[in-house]
Amino acid sequence: MPGSQATHSQTVAVHGEAHNPALLHHFAEPQQQRDAASLGMWIFLATEVMFFGGLFCAYLIYRLKYFAEFSAASKTLALSLGATNTAVLICSSLTVVLAVYAAQHARRSMLLGNLILTIILGFVFLGIKAVEYNEKFEKHHVPGPSFQFSEVNVPGHPGQYANPSHAQIFFALYFVMTGLHALHMIIGIGIFVWLLVMAWKGRFTPEYNTPVEMGGLYWHFVDIVWIYLFPLLYLIDRHP
């Protein structure tokens, strides 16, 4: 890992950078601060991967164990809404990367516009999710005392009913996984609102736009989680 040491030894002679107001006192120069922030955010995303990873492990084991119930339960999810949400997040990833580009190239209206679009798309995602959750609530598919999943056919096996307890495990994982994801989306929207305020005040320049980049990395991670959640939850068995 040679990079950082070479950078640093060159900085010993440079003190002019110290007047940069964004430079924190314990860093020798802005590039070091940027590199630290970037590495810090990537490591944080690593912890998030492991956090969701435990849920993916539980999902994997139960999908293999109760494939019939997982198929049946998955089919009750609204495919069109899930697919739309996937598209919404992909679009939001585009607006995020455009916002980062804009910050790096001092294009203020492009930056503000894309930040706003990202926030809007985030709300659209959550709105669609709310509709889905509501539908699940009405159908008594929310795990707990009021859960019902009686006499639902296993796809491809006419006459065989899904075991409600096993189906409840699917829905438990569905709600925990998408719920945790939605919580991360809400946090992400909060971060982007803060970025919008900072951008409005003109805090970001081509020299200093690290928060936009870091917020972007977080948002893309949340998108990647959904990229996996969508096929695993919605597309188990969509054979007509």
CB of 94 to other proteins, least distance (A): 4
Asked if 239 touches other proteins (CB under 8 A), the answer is: yes
How far apart (Å, rounded) are the C-alpha atoms in residues 219 and 19? 32
Q: Which is nearer to other proteins, 117 or 200 (CB)?
A: 117
Stretch that binds other proteins, among 117-125, 126-134, 193-201, 216-224 (CB under 8 A): 216-224
Candidates 106, 108, 205, 231: give the one binding other proteins (CB under 8 A): 231
Task: Give 104 or 153: the residue with its C-beta nearer to other proteins.
Answer: 104
Determine the distance from the C-alpha atom of residue 83 to the mean position of all C-alpha atoms in its chain, rounded to a whole number. 15
Q: Is 51 in the site for other proteins (CB under 8 A)?
A: yes
- The rounded distance, in Å, linking the Cα atoms of 192 and 218 is 10
| Binding of residue 176 to other proteins (CB under 8 A) | yes
Taking the C-alpha atoms of residue 111 and residue 192, their distance in angstroms, rounded to an integer, is 11
Dihedrals φ, ψ of 158, to 5°?
-60, 140
Structure tokens at 33: 């601060």
151's tokens: 């006499």
> Of residues 20, 30, 76, 104, which one binds other proteins by CB under 8 A?
104
Rounded to a whole number of angstroms, the distance between the first and last alpha carbons of the chain is 53
Give the C-alpha separation, 211 to 193, whole Å: 12
Does residue 120 interact with other proteins by CB under 8 A? no
Closest CB 130 distance from other proteins, rounded Å: 20
DSSP reduced 3-state for 77: coil
The yes or no reply on residue 201 touching other proteins (CB under 8 A) is: no
Q: Which is nearer to other proteins, 54 or 202 (CB)?
A: 54
28: three-class secondary structure by DSSP: coil
Q: Determine if 75 is a binding residue for other proteins (CB under 8 A).
A: no
Cα dihedral 180, 186, 188, 189 in deg (nearest 10): 160
Backbone angles phi, psi at 236, to 5 degrees: -65, -50
145 touches other proteins by CB under 8 A: yes
**Which of 14, 18, 43, 106 is close enough to bind other proteins by CB under 8 A?**
43
Q: Is 217 in the site for other proteins (CB under 8 A)?
A: yes
Stretch that binds other proteins, among 92-100, 116-124, 133-141, 192-200 (CB under 8 A): 92-100
29 binds other proteins, rule: CB under 8 A: no
Phi, psi (5° rounding) for residue 23?
A: -80, 120
- Binding of other proteins by 64 (CB under 8 A): yes
Q: Is 224 in the site for other proteins (CB under 8 A)?
A: yes
Bridge partner list, 153:
161
- Quote the least distance from Cβ 156 to other proteins, whole Å: 8
